[in-house]
Structure 1
Amino acid sequence: MAAAGSAVGLGNIWGFPTQAASNGGAAFLIVYLILAFVLAYPALMAELVLGRHAHANAVTALKGTSSNPLLRNLGATAGIVGFIVASLILSFYAIVAGWMIAHCLASLAALVGATDLAEWLVGFSLTRNVIFMTLFMGMTIAIISAGVRDGIERWSSRLMPLLLLTLFALVVYVLTLDGASEGLRVYLMPDFESALSPQLIIKALGSAFFSLSLGVGTMLIYGSYISDKENLPVAGGLVTAVDIGIAVLAGFLVLPAMYVALNNGVEIFAADGALLSEDTLIFTVLPELFSNMGLAGGMVSLTFFFLMSIAALTSSISMLEVPVAYTIENHGVKRLRAVMVIGALIAMVSLIILLNFGTLFGAIIALTTRYSQPLLGFVFCIYVGWIWHRDAVLTELKKGAPDIAEGLFWKIWPWHLRLVCPAIILLIFVQSLR
């Protein structure tokens, strides 16, 4: 549940639907689904297997795959880069999550008649952004400080079912509104020519890795906490299925909601047909939709942004755990001190982004999710597929699945991880540089 909570976050409910809306709807959905199963699931399994074997962070785990000094140092470097990237992701993630909390409270303020407060909460001001970024980082720090069982696991097991129920209820409601059918058509009727666009494929790969928290050692950390009795291919499959399922379900909410808003006179497209305000779509289009729905709109808005805040929190705790686990395990720092110091440093980076928003916000999202995560995922594939001894991999998998050597997973996954995943990731990455 905790691993699924890490995978399910703003990447599913903010990132995926926004990317789908900007890149052909169903065409993006098809490419995303293909890449999630062909690349993301095998890469997820590499992190889980390596993490459980080492029962340690990415730096220690990658070093342990080889006795060669050069390979050990390269592995350690990749692990360090991974937790730096995870920290950078959390730095912009905390900003967006702060917006979610502010909009949630704005909906509540509007319902009780505090109009001025509601307007301030939805206004894009530095003061508001700093306050709610800091609040969100404080919540994340508080949960991580409690540890794995009392913090991460307890809160993920509480928040994930609530997230699923709320999302499903919102989808059912939005699909009953005028204009929703056009959004469904865009989401489900593909333009196959668009699906072959290199830029669409690059964005779909980044979306798949971002939504599954891959490439930065998050899933490796969670793998290190998994019992030896667990069947890893099944656990990884469940995490992938839950993650993809919620992303697809979120698409059934956001795209129909966009066209409901369009039906109500809200502009969502520019003159050239491009989507307006891609990164801030749900903060511009959806509030306009909710405001046209009267009292019911206020309740739906409150529910939606509460849902988004939950999704953000289940993922942020896993991102903060990546550098925290390294600091605790490799440098012997107490958990509370590590969490407080690292959380404060990431909050400082968030503040720098807010002070230079136009320059840094989009650039850091692109750097981390479109380029760094797939490249780090490539490194994990190489280390597990080529450097770590095949017999050691099989031995680890057998702990929770004694008959795995005779199954289809073992006949396909090792070679797929060795040859197919690295080749496709590199091909897509090279294409992205053109």
Structure 2
Amino acid sequence: MSQQVKQEGFSSKFAHIMTLAGFCIGISNMWKFPYMVGANGGGIFLLIYLVCAVLVGLPLFILEQQLGRSATLAGVPGMAKLSNKSKFWTFGAGWLGLITVMLIACYFWTILGWNVGYIFKTASGALYGLGTDNAAVAAEFSSFSGSWGCVFAALLCAILAWFMLNTGFKQGVEKLCTYALPTLMVLLVGLAIYSNMLPGANAGLKWYLTPNFEGVDIPAAFQAAVVQVFFSVGVGMACAFVYGSYMSKKDNLMQDSCIAVCCDTFVAFMSGMVVTPALFAFGIEPSAGPGLIFISLPQIFNAMGNIPGRIFGTLYLIAVFLACLTSIVAVLEAGVANLGQRYGWSRRKTTTLVTFVTFGISVLVTRNMAPEGALSGMTFLGDFGLFDTLDCLASGFGLTFGALFMLLFVLFKYGFPRFMEEANWGAGDKLRLRPWMKWYYMIPLPIFLVATAICIIGMYF
């Protein structure tokens, strides 16, 4: 098997952790988490999410990374190696992850187009004239979300990502995360302080931090939290496998995984700390849904006044952009590593192909949202637009079943004792997988995943 995309590595411990955290931290933390909190009861969803991050996200994150480190290859060639070329396991724990990550990239560009377009709209004051009129702000987003302007904004991001990937892993992906992640965290802390000083913000802070079961569909909140953890931490989508393959046996995978998941959870938590108090301060409904950042938040920015609102809004959207950029580059890196190693293609060829194909499909996704045109209003899987269809297939099914396949592979093919021994390479004396943990991987974790899959199937069909 030719491997023209060479095996990469990390230049330093800090760069390794930042890169690992960078692929976890993304649009799911900044765009999806705040509206999921709003749609699922505030503090109770936050509590369920934190529990799921520890009990579901972290164990699976460790598992997927260790498979990558053991194989020293990306998911598709790596699973072929670990499973002695079993087509069943190579597809279920390899190709399925690659397909999922490619589907995510296809609509990720559209979100980046929204994000970049709204950075310019907010900074220039173009949205300020709309005031706090929900209908006017919603109409503006509806007009832009499927426009050629959005496609152009996404194209700029695609070109930037292509250049970063083509400079090589260390000079491109790693360096981006090393600088972008600390900047993002500083921005979020500053914005959270400002948001919580707004008049009326205390009510939002209390709602966000206080678990309240009243009126909350707990099974639905649990299902939403597990899927959000999968999407946020990045399990079941080939990324953790690839980044694990870049680690050496001397790296403390257990410790580094815990730090990366903590960083990811911190960014999600701080994003809620920025958004939720501000929503309550200006009387905006927290359960606004997917349009929260681009419909509800602009109203908050406008209510703050012209200059303060433009500064706050622009900084927040820049923070979103930094998270999205590190995430999309990591997503593409998974595609580049898998296809390049599997077919022996050069890095430049593979990067160009992955970027071109995913961006090309994203144009269709974006134009499907346009009020008019050949693709406008087309539906798939019932009443879903192309964006929701891809999100359903990738986030709903791909991540869940990809994680389940990898877990079953370790339990019934690879063997937990072997996995535990290899996961403890480079680990200290205290933070290690222990033999008693086998029962958790064999019973509670599969039950969590199967229950989630059942909930997802029931929700979509």
Structure 2 length-normalised TM = 0.85
User: For residue 438 of structure 2, what is the aligned residue in structure 1?
Assistant: 414
2:329 to 310, 317, 322: 317
1:127 to 137, 148, 164: 148
Q: In structure 1, what residue type is equivalent to 2:324? A: A
Shift of 1:347: 0.7
2:105 to 90, 112, 116: 90
Distance 2:428 2:144 in 1: 57
Answer yes or no: is the 8 Å Cα contact 1:28–1:204 preserved in 2.
yes
1:109 to 101, 124, 129: 124
Shift of 1:114: 12
User: For residue 64 of structure 1, what is the aligned residue in structure 2?
Assistant: 81
1:189 to 204, 207, 210: 210
CA pair 9-400 structure 1, distance change in 2 beyond 3 A: same
User: For residue 245 of structure 2, what is the aligned residue in structure 1?
Assistant: 224
Q: In structure 2, what residue type is equivalent to 1:42? A: P
User: For residue 270 of structure 2, what is the aligned residue in structure 1?
Assistant: 249
CA pair 240-402 structure 1, distance change in 2 beyond 3 A: closer
Distance 1:201 1:114 in 2: 40
Distance 1:230 1:195 in 2: 42
Shift of 1:386: 2.6
User: For residue 286 of structure 1, what is the aligned residue in structure 2?
Assistant: 297
Q: Tell me which protein shows more helix as a share of its residues.
A: 1
Shift of 1:369: 1.2
| Stretches of structure 1 lacking an aligned partner (at least 5 in a row) | 270-274
Shift of 1:104: 1.2
Q: In structure 2, what residue type is equivalent to 1:77? A: F
Runs ≥4 residues deviating over 6 A: 118-122
Answer yes or no: is the 8 Å Cα contact 2:255–2:427 preserved in 1.
no
1:47 to 64, 81, 88: 64
Shift of 1:56: 0.6
Answer yes or no: is the 8 Å Cα contact 1:41–1:237 preserved in 2.
yes
1:3 to 8, 11, 20: 20
RMSD (Å), alpha carbons = 2.4
Shift of 1:125: 4.7
Q: In structure 1, what residue type is equivalent to 2:43? A: A
CA pair 194-140 structure 1, distance change in 2 beyond 3 A: farther
User: For residue 76 of structure 1, what is the aligned residue in structure 2?
Assistant: 90
Distance 2:140 2:222 in 1: 39
TM alignment of 1:364-383, pairs within 5 A = 364-383=390-409
For residues 149-184 of structure 1, give each alpha carbon's deviation from its aligned partner in whole angstroms, at most 9, with x where no partner exists. Answer: 111111100100000000110000000001211211
User: For residue 261 of structure 1, what is the aligned residue in structure 2?
Assistant: 282
For residues 1-25 of structure 1, give each alpha carbon's deviation from its aligned partner in whole angstroms, at most 9, with x where no partner exists. Answer: 1010010111111111110111101
Distance 2:146 2:453 in 1: 36
Count of matched residue pairs: 417
The answer to whether residue 180 in structure 2 is matched with residue 159 in structure 1 is: yes
Q: In structure 2, what residue type is equivalent to 1:104? A: I
Answer yes or no: is the 8 Å Cα contact 2:74–2:241 preserved in 1.
yes
CA pair 138-105 structure 1, distance change in 2 beyond 3 A: same
Shift of 1:396: 2.0
2:257 to 236, 255, 262: 236
CA pair 194-369 structure 1, distance change in 2 beyond 3 A: farther
User: For residue 175 of structure 1, what is the aligned residue in structure 2?
Assistant: 196
Structure 1 length-normalised TM = 0.90
CA pair 402-5 structure 1, distance change in 2 beyond 3 A: closer
Distance 1:249 1:109 in 2: 26
Shift of 1:193: 5.1
Distance 2:117 2:428 in 1: 50
The answer to whether residue 353 in structure 2 is matched with residue 338 in structure 1 is: no
CA pair 388-147 structure 1, distance change in 2 beyond 3 A: same
Distance 1:54 1:190 in 2: 42
Distance 1:350 1:216 in 2: 19
Shift of 1:431: 3.0
Q: In structure 1, what residue type is equivalent to 2:245? A: S
Answer yes or no: is the 8 Å Cα contact 1:209–1:373 preserved in 2.
yes
Answer yes or no: is the 8 Å Cα contact 2:60–2:235 preserved in 1.
yes
Q: In structure 1, what residue type is equivalent to 2:186? A: L
Corresponding residue SS for 2:62:
helix
User: For residue 169 of structure 2, what is the aligned residue in structure 1?
Assistant: 148
For residues 14-65 of structure 1, give each alpha carbon's deviation from its aligned partner in whole angstroms, at most 9, with x where no partner exists. Answer: 1111101111011111111111111111100011111111111111222233
Q: In structure 1, what residue type is equivalent to 2:340? A: I
For residues 52-83 of structure 1, give each alpha carbon's deviation from its aligned partner in whole angstroms, at most 9, with x where no partner exists. Answer: 1111111122223333x6xx211221211211
CA pair 416-193 structure 1, distance change in 2 beyond 3 A: farther
Distance 2:170 2:45 in 1: 37
Distance 1:401 1:408 in 2: 6
1:15 to 25, 29, 32: 32
Shift of 1:201: 1.3
Q: In structure 2, what residue type is equivalent to 1:289? A: I
Distance 2:244 2:44 in 1: 33
Further displaced range: 159-168 or 144-153: 144-153
Q: In structure 1, what residue type is equivalent to 2:452? A: I
